Amino acid sequence: MRPHTLHEVVERTRRDPDWNHHLSEFLDAFYGADGDTIRQAGFIGDEPGLLGDRQADAFVGGVGEHLARRWNLPIPAWVRHRDRYLTTALFVPDERPLRGYLLCVSPVAFRARLIFTGPDPLQRARFPYHRGVIAMPSTYPPI
């Protein structure tokens, strides 16, 4: 059964460190509830707890805030906890040639935490593509 809250993601990660798997399963459940804003707000509303890994804890904060912003849900207060922010930059992926691009396109929820990633970092196969995808223009500057 997929985790239906970020708290469940954190709890599962404590038992099984396959963080990416648990987060992916959570995102599939979240996207499966597309259109049910009350249910989706419940997925991210409760404070999930800390894993004790600065990068993971900051990323969870970014996920909660990004999903709230992207789906027009209330932004939970827990995402603002000081332990949800990094003091040194994290690039995902950590490829030097991509850093300039990632600096420009990272969503605010991640950028504020010094996490630099693609423009829509939480896409999955179950992503509700009818809502649109955030992308950087293919030409810059615009003509």
Confidence of residue 27 (pLDDT cuts 50, 70, 90): very high
CB-side neighbour CA atoms (13 Å) of 43: 28
Tell me how crowded residue 111 is: count the other CB atoms within 10 A of its CB. Answer: 17
pLDDT over 60 (residue 140): no
Q: What is the pLDDT of residue 1?
A: 86
In one-letter notation, the amino acid at residue 133 is: V
Rounded Cα–Cα distance for residues 3 and 26 (Å): 5
- 53-102 pLDDT per residue, tens: 999 999 999 999 999 999 999 999 999 999 999 999 999 999 999 999 99
Q: What is the pLDDT of residue 134?
A: 72
Helix (H) or strand (E) holding 115: strand 115-116
DSSP 83: G
Q: What is the pLDDT of residue 128?
A: 80
